[in-house]
Structure 1
Amino acid sequence: MNRTALAVLSGLLALTAPLACSSQSKSTPSAGDQADVATSKVSAPVAVDAKLDGERAHVTLRFDAPATDVQVNVSGADGLSVRSAATPVAGTSFMKAGETSFDVEFTPGPGRSHLVVAVTGSFQGSHMSKVASFAVGTPSAEQQKSSGTTVTGSDGERIKVMPSSDAQ
């Protein structure tokens, strides 16, 4: 190969290198955005709100996108038990900006317990879900005791290391 051909070939390679390295995908997030990307989850475009009053909650759902085949399940965590229907909404459709409300009756657990509202459905052709938890009561002395160890990750975020329930 002569010098002219070599120069032309290397020039063409230099011109095509940026094209070969580019892609249609989004650019890599900056270091400041890394934490948001790593911790955010895709969830159903619905806002879940609950007004708690004693042993009753008034739950309101607001849809930010059209939804079909929507099902809502309510349950309890940390000792809370739901006395009303566990599935107050099933197989229902909503338009964008649609809203629905329902009441949930429950018996709180000891100390602090949680009312859990799970919404699933098809949102613009994708099956999605969203789960919201609402604290009920105040933590007992036992619940206030710390279980696990708190450490700081390399990014400065606090992480709680919990013991395994399969202690041997």
Structure 2
Amino acid sequence: MKRMALAVFSSLLTLLSVACTPTAKAAPNSSGPAESAKVSAPVAVEAQLGDGQAHVTVRFTAPASDVKINVHGVDGLVVKSAGTPVDGSAFTEGSVTSFDVAFTPGPGRSHLVVAVNGSFRGAQRSSVSSFAVGTPSPEQQQSVGNVVTDDQGQRIKIMPANGDTK
């Protein structure tokens, strides 16, 4: 039970650190639309999923130090191997690290989540990647929330705040 609480707490901290990073906007003189995007760690994360295991590859597009990589499951997926396969490592630009993750999938569709945290050119950055495992159950396929369109034509899904799924 303590491991579960620790996993949930570390997941929330990772999501909070990603959610609290500043957004980047296109320059006023750019010809493209002014889009916003989260500033994240300059890494590319790939996972080759198999039956109860994944081979994860992380490519660094900038030098990094004090890198910590956490893996955990969502929607019932349970990671059976080390939850932190990389801790306190340094990488050069263009470096690649790989590791295997053993897991037990959850019912229906669950997710393997890989979170990369570290110092990239002196700035703390995070990147979170999620990989779907399995096929959605009939319950998971049911739509939750209402879809509305804002003044600018953007579709927004309104989700219940109290945990109700209806």
TM-score range, shorter chain: 0.7 to 0.9
| Matching residue of 2:157 | 160
Partner of 1:23: none
Secondary structure in 1 matching 2:108:
coil
1:10-159 correspondence to structure 2 within 5 Å = 28=28, 33-34=33-34, 36-37=35-36, 40-159=37-156
CA distance in 2, matches of 1:29, 1:139: 44
Shift of 1:27: 5.0
Moved more, 150-159 or 41-50: 150-159
In proportion to residue count, which structure has more helix?
1
Separation in structure 2 between the aligned mates of residue 166 and residue 120 of structure 1, nearest angstrom: 30
Aligned CA distance change for structure 1 residues 31 and 94 (closer, same or farther; 3 Å): closer
Q: Aligned residue pairs: how many?
A: 139
Counterpart secondary structure, 1:143: helix
1:32-83 deviations in whole A, cap 9, x for unaligned? 623x22xx10000010000001110000000000000100000000110100
SS at match of 2:94: coil
- Partners in 1 of 2:158 and 2:56 — Cα distance? 33
Structure 1 position 156, deviation (Å): 1.8
> Displacement, 1:153?
2.0
- Name the % identity: 60
Give the Å deviation of 1:28. Answer: 2.9
C-alpha displacement at 1:152, in angstroms?
A: 1.5
State the TM-score, normalizing by the size of structure 2: 0.79
Select the structure that is richer in strand: 2
Gaps spanning 5+ residues in structure 2: where?
1-25
Q: Which structure 1 residue ranges, 4+ long, deviate > 2 Å from structure 2? A: 26-32
Shift of 1:29: 6.3
3-state SS of 2:38 partner:
coil
Q: Greater CA radius of gyration, 1 or 2?
A: 1
Question: Hey, what's the Cα distance between the residues in 2 that align with 1:163 and 1:137?
Answer: 25
